[in-house]
Structure 1
Amino acid sequence: MQADVSQFPIVWLWFKVPALDPDVPPFAGFEKLLSRKQPFVLINDEGLDMASPHEHSHEERKQTTLWMKRHKEALRTYVKGAIHIESDAAKRLAAEPFATESIKFWGYPMHLVGSQDEAMNLARTLLDL
């Protein structure tokens, strides 16, 4: 996972690329964002591939769940949403049930949009900019 915080409070996040430093714990960057104690949004433009999602090991899932539980309040407070850009309307529609359920786990809403312009407009709305 990589993040670009140069446009904070808009944070670009990519999952399909390797971490810049494999020795850094996976959520260290996320913790740094939360430590700012300022609202932000996450945007991902890799598209959605619900048919073949990356399978995480049991240990990865366990660590993610434990991390999320430790940071649940900060996630709810500061992450105003995760916006995923997918140009294919059918893929967006197929991902709707997942998006609806994700708030229960992560504590912030997942939004699906068709373009970068839509993502940026939604980000500004979520941040009240």
Structure 2
Amino acid sequence: MMVQITKLHPEVTPPLFDLSAFPLVRLPMPEPGIAGYGERWAAEFDAVLARTERFVLLNIGPIPDEAHDDRKARTLWLKRRRAELGRLCLAHLHVERDPDRRAMMQDRAEKMAGAFPYALALFDSEDAALERAWTLLRAVPLTL
């Protein structure tokens, strides 16, 4: 006799944004080759902004190449939500341990700084980035 197993719970996709330490928002980097997350990224970021509380973004690790459609979705979203981002996001901090990649990213960040309504900063360690994040978050009222 063959027994059929039925899943009671559908697979749960973990969120792209880690809000467990909010107002520190961790943005895990997508795995290289992963595509199709742009709209989900925008929807999750909408939920972060809907909190109407100030926050700091934190990325760790190398930035993989993005699929064109994902980059386009994120870019359009950033343009639409620029004013809210400027009010709510205190900074976007990125940890890159490799000094050569960090220097390349720093150069790129300086060239793109005007495109973002918040400060961009690179760090060689998570501890240094976290120290900066919590310093920023303690310095201002988090609610508007």
Q: Tell me if both proteins adopt one fold, taking TM over 0.5 as the criterion.
A: yes
Q: Which amino acid aligns with 2:93?
A: I
Q: Is the 8 A contact 1:83 1:110 kept in 2?
A: yes
CA contact (8 A) 2:42 2:73 kept: no
* Deviating 4+ runs (over 4 angstroms): none
* Alpha carbons 1:81, 1:110 under 8 Å: kept: yes
Q: Does 1:67 align with 2:77?
A: yes
Tell which deviates more after alignment, 103-112 or 30-39. 103-112
* Cα shift at 1:81: 1.1
Residue identity opposite 1:54 in structure 2: D
Q: Please name the residue that 1:90 is paired with.
A: 100
**1:10 corresponds to 2:20:** no
Match of 1:77 in 2: 87
Change (3 A) 1:109 1:116: same
Q: Does structure 2 conserve the Cα–Cα contact (< 8 Å) formed by 1:102 and 1:108?
A: no
Q: Residue deviations 1:31-85, cap 9 Å, x none?
A: 111111111011111x235xxx41432x444333321121010111111111111
Partner of 1:34: 49
Structure 2 unaligned blocks of 5 or more: 1-14, 140-144
Q: Percent identity?
A: 33
Offset at 1:101? 3.0
Say if 1:33 and 1:87 are closer, same or farther in 2 by CA, change over 3 A.
same
In the alignment, the residues of structure 1 paired with residue 111 and residue 87 of structure 2 have an alpha-carbon distance, to the nearest angstrom, of 18
Q: Is the 8 A contact 1:102 1:110 kept in 2?
A: no
